[in-house]
Structure 1
């Protein structure tokens, strides 16, 4: 007999072993709690009272049912970041894209099956700025009897990186929207909810990972920060990268991991040193003149048998603008591309798209300088609808959106050189339509409008292959000759470099409406987002499933 299980797992704990149960039931109570651990008594929105929230454990091919009950004053929705949601877009979670939000006092059951995926993902709120505190890990183990394609680690642990504001995050972004200026940066970074023992605002010493000499541990690293890419280092140790965004990679060794908001990275840590304590650091990476939180979060790797009085071995994080470190890490990522885990890169494409991503300025009579900062894709600042786009698509509602999103920039210019004098953008709820099973090549080009800036772009409903990247303007004649179509890394969130471009390919084999947006929450708020509408295929197995009876209403 199945029953709801109230989730009260500690994110910092080592993983349990799952039995081969094909249906997992969880209950998420969205509630307020005080955040005393971060030198603040302000109430924060949490799931089941935990910050970070509970870890969801499942196996490949499991069906997961999660009942979310909203006990706070805000509307809520939860996104299962990286889950492909094959034909089950109703469970994807972004508010006003695939569902209306869960209103105060209401509930909704997210019901989805994990098909062909295994590894580390995350879940988070997908409305307002609530994901600052409403987030957690989603751990998908391989099927029983299926080993990892690397030596089995002795133990595993989740490491969630985040950001912390002393003020209420909704007040922070609301004030920014009124002024038309950028919001205040965060006041601290966190590792598993703690700023760490070297912070001036640490009441509990921070997160500690206990290890035994000679043993190998797998760290499931998640960047749940709102607005910042982060470097992670462990003093005296190298890490072996074996997976990103729940897809296996060719293993490689590094002393620094780069991870953008929404991305996940699994690494192997071998405890090859003697007894001691070793500092873990999480620090910002930003190689353009944009204000960021410069506080370094810290944690500790502690060998068994180490005396409490033993001093901690320190490591210095990379400089904030360490582009070479970031580039080396990114360029090292390759798909495993084995017989069991092939890289099925589309070799021919039906759609060849160029999307510019960047900032702009639109008129605003009530704003400080008479204008407000906005963000855009192909000069379109996305306007959120008041009816969920998937509902409008499924029920063929008129007037909610148009399917005329431009496949190329409306006006071509030197995207990384001399800028145009007009920074104004167009507003609209415009989607790009794809036929079922069509193939897409999409080049994401950063612009220097206001300032060049990195953009971690997340595509819902699909994984994609990162076939190329470069600096400057994308050259459609020369750059494709350098594309990697053999073993490019497979992801769901990819970084577009400052003043450069990234090319991806995917197959549109998942019908529905799928959001694509910058995973820097400030840019999403400003309008750097759009959606693809993928038509049904030829039969019921290639069509969107009917909506569930408890789907929230707007």
Structure 2
């Protein structure tokens, strides 16, 4: 009787949770969009004729359904950046890893539940440089409404998506980058919510503007959707309190500048208590490279305008840090700590796999088809393995599920091998369900000519605990510095140039999960690897693929 009495309230809780969950449905038509930007007429590829694309808002526990229709001439996939995809790995959208691309004139319906996550994530194309214009915000609200925030309810929530803009077709930019062997040319402008602002040579350029009321608190949901650059972001006359990063809550951190790497998100409270007026928000590149390489030196701007202030009132401009201000960037990245709530799991203390993964860029001979290459081409690798996407008519996940031989090898090394040069391979690291994996990510300078830079390393399918990070080389004595109490929880970490970061995660989701540099220029060079997570006990099994799952075409 006692067991039955306990079961009744549990059933009621489960029924209530199920009743409160919803199905949120969108249709994304990806196709050509005519746009005038930087005094030029262009055709770009977007979702639903929008730049940025549609904002998706869901509540934790909801099921998200997105009907993707490819009206573009390019094969593509859509990735839901930071979503766990618990037992729904077929929907992760990693091109040739969890799915084959949606072919032109084709379609696919992504369907997955969003469980155990709150905050700001985003979605983007995961095929070629198309994500420069195919991206949008994915906002997950607490199940019990604004009262679920671990901070006072904001008066207004404002998505801020930072991006890059090329005047040329981005597919041509990527192709030329391969032919030269040196990667894509630098962007022509930075953008805030798709617009470059007024700090460029094109008079009348579009600029994002938001109106605020005096004496309120706004929650800025900041996303770095840029393809290849870290960014500094400020609002003149205002400061921030960071309360979350990568959809994981942080202890409040006061700052006047946000530093954010490609793929990362930051939630920051901003009080509108400045003298009523117009204030620029601005973003420019944080350049961490250790050798001089050209970069986009433009400044993207937007306007924060207080209600009642005329549009012609002059706007104050913030003083952004110098492009190479590694001290300010390091202080921001390293000062954040996690906000562990009673319901959150603690850091796992028993580790099943200890790995050291070194990575970087080097020089390689030009390939015969790199017809514009002169002298050398760039190559990248993790533990001397330069990742190659499978060329068979199957994704890695389908090969795992169906047992297709010869598609990948299970020999990605736990430590950097004592070898020179690189091995081109589709190598994965196999782990069991619920294994705990610790990875020391070590940035290397393989070439003095190329130097090194910060690398934002993104892990699909999981959040990880960021236990420690530092400059120089990691050594085992540094384990005493691990933060096992309140580490940041992230899905993307900016590993410092020539430095290291230690991450730890529990592999509780069967499937094939990509780990790669989120500087898109480095992905086709091979700066990636894959974790193969085996099935656990039922129901922790990889389900069959959806019936409309895209097929590969050579």
TM bin (shorter chain) = over 0.9
| 2:385 corresponds to | 380
SS in 1 for 2:546: coil
After superposition, give the CA deviation of every residue in 1:51-85 in whole Å (9 maximum; x if it has no partner): 11000110000001100000011001000000000
- Map 1:234-383 onto structure 2 (within 5 A): 234-288=235-289, 289=291, 290-340=293-343, 342=344, 344-366=346-368, 367=370, 368-383=373-388
Unaligned residue ranges in structure 2 (runs of 5+): 1-18
After superposition, give the CA deviation of every residue in 1:329-378 in whole Å (9 maximum; x if it has no partner): 112111101324x3521112000000011012222254533431011101
Which residue, 443, 447, 450 being the options, matches 1:446?
A: 443
Mapped partners of 2:130, 2:466: distance in 1: 29
Mapped partners of 1:549, 1:84: distance in 2: 22
| 2:45 corresponds to | 45
Cα gap change, 1:382 to 1:38, in 2 (>3 Å) = same
Mapped partners of 1:125, 1:92: distance in 2: 11
CA apart distance, 1:202: 5.5
| 1:35 corresponds to | 35
CA apart distance, 1:500: 0.3
RMSD: 1.4
After superposition, give the CA deviation of every residue in 1:411-460 in whole Å (9 maximum; x if it has no partner): 28xxxxxxxxx6x3110000000010000110100001231211000000
Question: Does the 8 Å CA contact 1:362/1:425 hold for their aligned counterparts?
Answer: no
Mapped partners of 1:38, 1:31: distance in 2: 21
| TM-score (normalised: structure 2) | 0.92
Question: Does the 8 Å CA contact 1:194/1:207 hold for their aligned counterparts?
Answer: yes
| 1:78 corresponds to | 78
| 2:494 corresponds to | 495
| 1:14 corresponds to | none
Question: Does the 8 Å CA contact 2:412/2:428 hold for their aligned counterparts?
Answer: yes
After superposition, give the CA deviation of every residue in 1:379-424 in whole Å (9 maximum; x if it has no partner): 1111100320000000011000001001100028xxxxxxxxx6x3
Task: Say if 2:109 is the partner of 1:92.
Answer: no
CA apart distance, 1:316: 1.8
Task: Say if 2:397 is the partner of 1:398.
Answer: no
| 2:148 corresponds to | 147
Aligned residues: 523
Mapped partners of 1:117, 1:510: distance in 2: 15
| 1:6 corresponds to | none
| TM-score (normalised: structure 1) | 0.92
Which residue, 383, 396, 407 being the options, matches 1:389?
A: 396
Task: Say if 2:513 is the partner of 1:514.
Answer: yes
SS in 2 for 1:526: coil
SS in 1 for 2:29: strand
